[in-house]
Amino acid sequence: MKISTKGRYALRMLVDLAIHSDEGFISLKDIAERQDISKKYLEQIVPMLNKSGILRTNRGNRGGYALAKNASELTVGDVLRATEGSLAPVSCLEYEPNDCPRSEICCTLFIWEGLYKAVTNYLDSITLQDIVERTDGSVNDYCI
């Protein structure tokens, strides 16, 4: 599994909103500048986050974006499912119940189920608040 820039940038955007949550609604321009991400790219991510109920939008003079829930209620798994789609390592695990005609006899299914469970449990155990608490206020996913 490889997480795209869409997923990584969405996570950075949301952590930025969590860090600056006391400032009210935040403009994409401000987030883009702080995170060194193209505003146009963030504009492509916003609809996914809105649709999934992660973001709140406010139009007008004091417009911008804010988290729809507390940072302690939003997980990395929530963000990645909103931007990447399913986290399942194989297509037969994307839907419940597994409708693959080979699922009853598949000798490798337990491997993919275990991997899916481990990834999902891990990503769902980390909240945006956990990330905020590990930062010094500047959120970048690179090191100098």
User: What pTM was computed for the model?
Assistant: 0.87
Q: Is the pLDDT of residue 78 over 50?
A: yes
Give pLDDT, residue 137: 55
Per-residue pLDDT, averaged over 120-140, amounts to 86
Q: What is the pLDDT of residues 62-76, one digit of tens each?
A: 889 999 999 999 999
In single-letter form, the type of residue at position 137 comes to G
Q: How many contiguous H segments (helices) and E segments (strands) does the chain have? A: 6, 2
3-state secondary structure 107-138: CCHHHHHHHHHHHHHHHHCCEHHHHHHCCCCC
